[in-house]
Amino acid sequence: MEATALAATIDHTVLKPDSTLEHVRTLCREAVTYRFASVCILPWHVADARHLLADDAVAVCTVIGFPLGASTTSAKVHEAVDAIVNGATEIDMVASITALKSRQYDRLLSDVQQVTAAVHDHGAIVKVIIETCLLTHDEKLRMCDIVTEARADFIKTSTGFSTGGATLDDVALLRQHVGSNVQVKASGGIRDVQTALVMINAGATRLGTSSGVAIVSELLKY
């Protein structure tokens, strides 16, 4: 895989709570230089990133209900729309893991559907984070069904803030069981080119990583 093609799958990410505006400036400069798909940042920094990327095609992505997914649906909808108004064009929402564990499936579906509808109404795309490291096999399959029925654009493995990140088996499982309308984003623990390519080969079309520069630079050496 060519470095430019791999770079185009990467959401270049800084989500640490102590990230600063200078970190965002650096992230945006790197995203333009390496032609990453997006910068993925905290909602606080969305307007700044939109300004920094005003003359470039790199997308602005942010996280909603992050990192626990336990915000109410109305709060997530408001947060998502506010982020879009501020300049985000991609929304990575965390699904309610507590609803899944409580078997509140209808409420969980409604959570994802309402956020997805609000995001789509504003012309943006939505990725649903399911935090695979916390889920059983059957719960992962249930989330595939819910994300597909809600007509979200992506299912995403992880926040990167829980007990584990993306795995080859999980990416392959999600790709196999989501509908054809849903793409897969692998996130968490992707720090080198070998891991990135394994995730792509398993079916991921987006990668969430803070190591994008190192990954693409490594591939350019070959």
Give strand ranges (E) for the chain: 10-14, 38-41, 59-64, 90-94, 125-129, 154-156, 183-187, 206-209
Query: d(Cα 186, Cα 199) in Å, to the nearest integer?
Result: 7
Give strand ranges (E) for 35-136: 38-41, 59-64, 90-94, 125-129
Query: d(Cα 93, Cα 129) in Å, to the nearest integer?
Result: 6
The model's confidence at residue 31, banded by pLDDT at 50, 70 and 90, is very high
How far is it between the farthest Cα atoms of the chain? 49
Predicted TM-score (pTM) above 0.75: yes
Angle at 90 between CA 198 and CA 70, to 5 degrees: 90
Q: What's the chain's average pLDDT? A: 97
Query: d(Cα 6, Cα 216) in Å, to the nearest integer?
Result: 7
What crossing angle do the helices spanning 168-177 and 193-202 adopt, rounded to 10°? 20
φ/ψ bin of 188: left (φ > 0), alpha (ψ from -120 to 50), beta (otherwise): left
User: Tokens at residue 143, please?
Assistant: 């989330």
The residues that are catalytic are 92, 156, 185
> How would you class 159 by CB atoms within 10 Å of its CB: exposed for 0-12, middle for 13-18, buried for 19 or more?
buried
**211: enclosing H helix or E strand:** none
Whether the CB-CB separation of 76 and 65 falls below 8 Å is answered with yes
Q: For position 211, what pLDDT does the model report?
A: 97
Q: For position 134, what pLDDT does the model report?
A: 98
Q: Mind listing the pLDDT tens digit for each residue in 122-143?
A: 999 999 999 999 999 999 999 9
Q: For position 191, what pLDDT does the model report?
A: 96
**Count of positions (residues) in the chain:** 222
The model's confidence at residue 199, banded by pLDDT at 50, 70 and 90, is very high
Domains of the chain, start order = 3-220 (3.20.20.70)
Beta bridge partners of 127: 92, 154
Q: Mind listing the pLDDT tens digit for each residue in 42-78?
A: 999 999 999 999 989 999 999 999 999 999 999 999 9
